[in-house]
């Protein structure tokens, strides 16, 4: 099933960003080693059931990933392995009717997914790791999520300057390859290449990134920094995740990436309704 992503991809962002509360991106990891739900949705029938649940719970996007990108202990996999995991799942998830983003740092994987119904590229290395990613996104005219990342956390750096410099490099790559700015979303990469304190700093100062004039996505769901405040396992961090996401929404995030979709949707909509009374 080949599909022209141009026909649907360019309309995705305006529809998602036109409401008074952030859109919610549901996380669907079809991997054996993701930090929060490794193995739970590796089988196609489990993955599809979870995708259906997230749509029923109010997810606006399904973010489908076939390689764990957790900062600590993840094992790199080949493009062939990613595709082997994606092929039994993607078409059924696309058929649910909400936009699907493909969470991959490999342009070959993203290209296949776009050919088969995905509408958004989600690159955790912000167009800076795979030289084929930017030309692919430009040619397909699809939205791209550019995430800040580092190979290693460095507690001595000014993390906001680092994030801004990274985004500037990524946006230069995007401009040189012809990616339209109205198709770009910036993600500061909470938990990636950052100490827990730096992740919290980015959340606290998120509004500074509005200077780029582009939509912001935040994914703080179940991240390790929460446990440094209140010790907890990943599946016991819903409260901390919601707190972080409400702060992110207040700071200008227009898309929230979350594992616990129903709770996140409720929190964001109630917060927006309360602000509407002011």
Query: What SS3 string covers 135-195?
Result: HHHHHHCCCEEEECCCCCCCCCCCHHHHHHHHHHHHHHHHHHHCCCHHHEEEECCCCCCCC
Residue whose structure tokens are 């700071």: 251
Work out how many domains the chain is built from and give that number: 1
Confidence of residue 2 (pLDDT cuts 50, 70, 90): very low
Ramachandran category for residue 68: left, alpha or beta (phi over 0 → left; psi -120 to 50 → alpha): beta
Which residue of the set 106, 140, 224, 257 is catalytic?
257
- The domain that holds 233 is classified in CATH as 3.20.20.20
The reply to whether 251 falls in a domain is yes
Confidence of residue 144 (pLDDT cuts 50, 70, 90): very high
The reply to whether 45 falls in a domain is yes
Q: What is the pLDDT of residues 43-81, one digit of tens each?
A: 899 999 999 999 999 999 999 999 977 555 556 789 999
The reply to whether 184 falls in a domain is yes
Confidence of residue 22 (pLDDT cuts 50, 70, 90): very high
Task: Look at residue 21 and tell me whether its pLDDT is greater than 50.
Answer: yes
Compute the C-alpha angle 175/122/62, nearest 5°: 140
* pLDDT at residue number 71: 58
Confidence of residue 148 (pLDDT cuts 50, 70, 90): very high
The reply to whether 1 falls in a domain is no
Spatial separation of the C-alpha atoms in residues 278 and 276, rounded to whole Å: 6
Are the beta carbons of 33 and 71 closer than 8 angstroms?
no
* pLDDT at residue number 41: 77
Higher-confidence position of 254 and 10: 254
Confidence of residue 194 (pLDDT cuts 50, 70, 90): very high
Task: Look at residue 254 and tell me whether its pLDDT is greater than 60.
Answer: yes
Q: Packing angle between helix 238-250 and helix 196-204, nearest 10 degrees?
A: 40
Q: What is the mean pLDDT of residues 147-163?
A: 98
* pLDDT at residue number 38: 54
The reply to whether 55 falls in a domain is yes
- Catalytic residue check, 106: no
The per-residue pLDDT of the chain, averaged, comes to 93
What are the C-alpha distances in Å from 44 to residues 48, 49, 68, 177? 6, 9, 17, 36
Q: Please give the structure tokens belonging to residue 207.
A: 């509004």
Task: Look at residue 6 and tell me whether its pLDDT is greater than 60.
Answer: no
Q: What is the pTM of this model?
A: 0.93
Task: Look at residue 122 and tell me whether its pLDDT is greater than 60.
Answer: yes
Q: What is the mean pLDDT of residues 108-112?
A: 98
The span from the first CA to the last CA of the chain, in angstroms, equals 49
Task: Look at residue 4 and tell me whether its pLDDT is greater than 60.
Answer: no
The reply to whether 71 falls in a domain is yes
Count the Cβ atoms, other than its own, within 10 Å of residue 253. Answer: 29
- Catalytic residue check, 129: no
The reply to whether 110 falls in a domain is yes
**209 is in which domain, residue-wise?**
6-275
Confidence of residue 172 (pLDDT cuts 50, 70, 90): very high
* pLDDT at residue number 34: 55
Lowest mean pLDDT among 73-87, 131-145, 216-230: 73-87
**Reduced 3-state DSSP string for the chain:** CCCCCHHHHCCHHHHHCCCCCCEEEEEEECCCCCCCCCCCCCCHHHHHHHHHHHHHCCCCEEEEECCCCCCCCCCCCCHHHHHHHHCCCHHHHHCCCCCEEEECCCHHHHHHHHHCCCCEEEECCCCCCCCCHHHHHHHHCCCEEEECCCCCCCCCCCHHHHHHHHHHHHHHHHHHHCCCHHHEEEECCCCCCCCHHHHHHHHHCHHHHHHHCCCEEECCCCCHHHHHHCCCCHHHCHHHHHHHHHHHHHCCEEEEEECCHHHHHHHHHHHHHHHCCC
The reply to whether 213 falls in a domain is yes
Spatial separation of the C-alpha atoms in residues 13 and 144, rounded to whole Å: 10
Task: Look at residue 36 and tell me whether its pLDDT is greater than 80.
Answer: no
Q: What is the mean pLDDT of residues 141-165?
A: 98
Which residue of the set 106, 223, 224, 237 is catalytic?
223
């Amino acid at each position: 099933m080949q599909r022209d992503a141009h026909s649907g991809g360019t309309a995705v962002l305006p529809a998602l960003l036109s409401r008074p509360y952030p859109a919610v991106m549901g996380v669907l990891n079809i991997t054996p080693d993701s930090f929060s739900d490794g193995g739970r949705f590796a089988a196609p029938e489990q993955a599809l059931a979870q995708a259906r649940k997230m749509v029923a719970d109010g997810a606006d996007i399904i973010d489908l990933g076939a390689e764990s990108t957790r900062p600590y202990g993840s094992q790199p996999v080949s493009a062939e392995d990613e595709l082997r995991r994606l092929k039994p799942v993607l078409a059924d998830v696309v058929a649910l009717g909400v936009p699907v983003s493909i969470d991959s740092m490999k342009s070959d994987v993203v290209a296949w997914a776009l050919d088969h119904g995905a509408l958004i590229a989600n690159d955790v290395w912000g167009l800076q790791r795979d030289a084929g990613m930017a030309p692919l996104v430009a040619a397909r005219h699809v939205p791209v999520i550019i995430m800040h990342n580092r190979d290693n956390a460095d507690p001595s750096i000014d993390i906001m300057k680092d994030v801004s410099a990274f985004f500037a490099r990524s946006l230069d790559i995007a401009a040189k390859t012809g990616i339209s700015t109205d198709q770009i979303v910036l993600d500061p990469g909470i938990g990636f290449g950052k100490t827990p304190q730096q992740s919290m700093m980015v959340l606290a100062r998120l509004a500074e990134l509005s200077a780029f004039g582009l939509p912001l996505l935040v994914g703080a769901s179940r991240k390790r920094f929460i446990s440094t405040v209140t010790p907890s396992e990943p599946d016991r961090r819903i409260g901390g995740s919601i707190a972080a996401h409400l702060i992110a929404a207040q700071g200008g995030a227009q898309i929230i990436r979350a594992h616990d979709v129903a709770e996140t949707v409720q929190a964001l909509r109630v917060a927006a309704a309360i602000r509407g009374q002011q």
